[in-house]
Structures are given as C-alpha cells and as structure tokens.
Amino acid sequence: MSRLSILAAAVLLGLAACATQPVYGPKGPGQSAGYTDEQLAANRYRVTYTGSAATDRETVEDFLLYRSAEVTLKAGFTHFQFDTRDTKAHTTYYSSFAGGWPGWPYHRYYGWYWHSWPFPDEDVMVTPITRYEAYAEIVMLTDDEAKGNPQAMDAHDVMDHLGPKVHPPKPAS
C-alpha cells in the first residue's frame, strides 16, 4: 500500500472517529442538513429531512416521521397519514490519487481517470459518500377522522417511540 493510500485511509478514519450522533433540527440558511416543512392546505404539509454524509437512511426516515408528528400536533391535530413519501440517495465520490496533488508536476486529470505516471504502482482510493433525503406530504386527521383508518398514525405515539432516537440522552460526564 502506498504512503498516499495510507494517509488517505488515516484521514478517513479520523473523520469517522469525529462523527457524532446526527443532530435533529431545522435546516438553516447555508446548511445542507435538517428538516423543512411547508403548509399546503389547512390539513396538509410537505415535510422533508435531509441528512448529512454521516446520517444513515433509517435515521433520516425516523427524523422525517418525528417531524411529521411534531407538525401534526403543532397544527392542532392528533393523527397523520402519508399521502406521498419517498427517500432518495445522493452519492458523490471522493478520490485520492497518485502522482501528486493538483499543481504538482506529475498530476494529470483526464475525465474520471487519474493518471499516475510516473508512479504506476500507486493506488487510487475512491470513497462513496451518500446523503439521504426523505420527503413526504402528510394529511393531518382529527381523532374522529383517524378512527377505522389503518394508515393513520397517532402523533403522540410516534413521538414517544422515536423520541429517544431523535433526542438521545446525554452521556454522563
């Protein structure tokens, strides 16, 4: 394994070690992770949650469910159901390359191919980075509307079950 590959692996391990529990919160200006919601009608909202590169798909979907329950209760309803729902993966690739950094004399870039001459035995490490975004349109329901509806979710139950995942207890110091 080349020194460059070892260095790249060490950097990636260091970044992974710094990864913390995903933070649940609104997506602010200039931020790429967090939730957004938009009222579409008196009882209908569009809710999204976009995770960071360190947030797995299940967590993004749990955060979307939790936010849907919050929006429902805040709007004065007790239940909600999904009208539409989807989770999309956006994958980009980070590449370490042999032959030096950009600007060095032996660096050559040809499309997606990193040329490593005059170091043909150097390794190129490609690391996929996937971010998930969950999207839903929710219809909010009263207790009476939710009765007998198997798709209706109780917002209080959702928050009770997902609360520890969304807001984990702080570790003892």
Integer Cα distance of 99 and 73 in angstroms: 57
- Which are the contacts of 83, defined by CB distance < 8 A and separation ≥ 6? 44, 136, 137, 138, 139
Q: Which amino acid is at 55?
A: T
Q: How big is the chain by its Cα radius of gyration, in Å? A: 22
Question: DSSP letter at 26?
Answer: B
pTM exceeds 0.75 for this model = no
pLDDT in tens, 57-77: 999 999 999 999 999 999 999
So what's the pLDDT on residue 13? Answer: 46
Q: What does the longest C-alpha to C-alpha distance in the chain come to?
A: 74
pLDDT in tens, 118-132: 555 556 678 888 999
pLDDT in tens, 41-62: 999 999 999 999 999 999 999 9
**Banded pLDDT at 3 (limits 50, 70, 90):** low
Domain ranges in the chain are 3-7+22-166
So what's the pLDDT on residue 66? Answer: 98
